[in-house]
Structures are given as C-alpha cells and as structure tokens.
Amino acid sequence: MARKDPFFSTFQEWIELFMHRSMQGTIQYARENGLSMSMIGTLFHLNLRGHAGVSDLGQHLGVSSAAASQMLDRLVEEGLIERTEDPDDRRMKKISLTEKGCQIFRESLSARLRWLDELEKGLTDQEKQTITSALQLMIDKAHDRSPMVKE
C-alpha cells in the first residue's frame, strides 16, 4: 500500500500541499465569479486543447451532454466561449474560448498564483534553476515530446 519510491511519495506530498492552495483559490474564485466547477474545468480544458465538442466536455466532467450544453449556454452569455459549427460534421459544435475568455482565464490564473511570488523570493537563482528545469522536464514528457536539448 505505502509506496517507498521517493519520486512518488515526494510527488504526493507536494501535491497535497499544492492542491490545498490551488484548489482553495479556485473554489473561492469560482464562487466569487458565479462559476461552477464544471465551468472552471471547461475553461482549463479549452485553454489546453483549443476546442472540444459538447459531449466531449460532458464526458470529461462526468455529466450528461444535456448538462454540458446548458452549462455552455451560460459561458456563451458571459462571452467566455463560442460555439461554431464543425464544418466536417455539422451535427457537432466546436466549442472554444473567445479572446476575452482566454484573457480572463489567464489573468485569473495568475492572480491565484500570487503565492508563487513569495515562494520565489525564498529561493536562490540556483534553486530556481533546478525547479524550472524539473518542471520543464515534466511539461515536455506530458506533451510527449523529447526534452529540449540545450539552449
């Protein structure tokens, strides 16, 4: 049950710390701005993937496509996303962030990362370099591309 593996256990500890911060911030942000967690999840998804279908989004969030459609109505009202027809299959809609939606998403994310500034202050350049490399490594792997060789 307990994994000795320092990679995994360190990661898990980090996640407990990190998610506590970021989730609390996200929950509060959502509440203040009248967004549901489904909407937040949708914004994250679209930000990363560019676009998605209605049922797609529903599946990712674990809700029916009817629920997804209704939720998207509200995001359209807010001007955060747009529905366009998929030219290849006109039954489908391509859901994507509007420019405004993209901007607001990124701004709110930065705002919720203010604690990073505090963290950064306590680090030497050497330490920041270590962390930046490690994160870049994970980003590369996640995108399934080989690590950048050198700069």
Partner DNA sequence: CTATATAATTAAGCGGTCTTAAATAATTAG
Partner DNA sequence: CTAATTATTTAAGACCGCTTAATTATATAG
**Does residue 70 touch a copy of itself according to CB under 8 A?**
no
Measure CA 17 to chain center.
Answer: 18
**Does residue 65 touch a copy of itself according to CB under 8 A?**
no
Whose CA is closest to 75, among 35, 109, 128?
35
Closest contact distance (angstroms) between CB of 109 and DNA is 20
String of DSSP letters for 20-86: HHHHHHHHHHHHHTT--HHHHHHHHHHHHHSEE-HHHHHHHHTS-HHHHHHHHHHHHHTTSEEEEE-
CA distance 137 to 19: 20
> Binding pattern to DNA, positions 81-110, x when CB under 7 A?
--x-----xxxxx-----------------
Instruction: From the list DNA, a copy of itself, none, pick the one residue 81 interacts with, judged by a Cβ distance below 5 to 8 Å according to partner type.
Output: none
**Does residue 55 touch DNA according to CB under 7 A?**
yes
Structure tokens given for 59: 């599946």
CA distance 104 to 109: 8
> Binding pattern to a copy of itself, positions 11-40, x when CB under 8 A?
xxxxxxxxxx-xxx-xxx--xx----xx-x
CA distances 92 to 52, 72, 111, Å, are 10, 14, 34
Closest contact distance (angstroms) between CB of 34 and a copy of itself is 12
Residues at the interface with DNA (CB under 7 A): 34-39, 53-56, 61-74, 83, 89-93
Residue numbers at the binding site for a copy of itself (CB under 8 A) = 3, 6-8, 10-20, 22-24, 26-28, 31-32, 37-38, 40-41, 44-45, 47-48, 60-63, 109-110, 113, 116, 118-120, 122-123, 127-128, 130-139, 141-142, 144-145
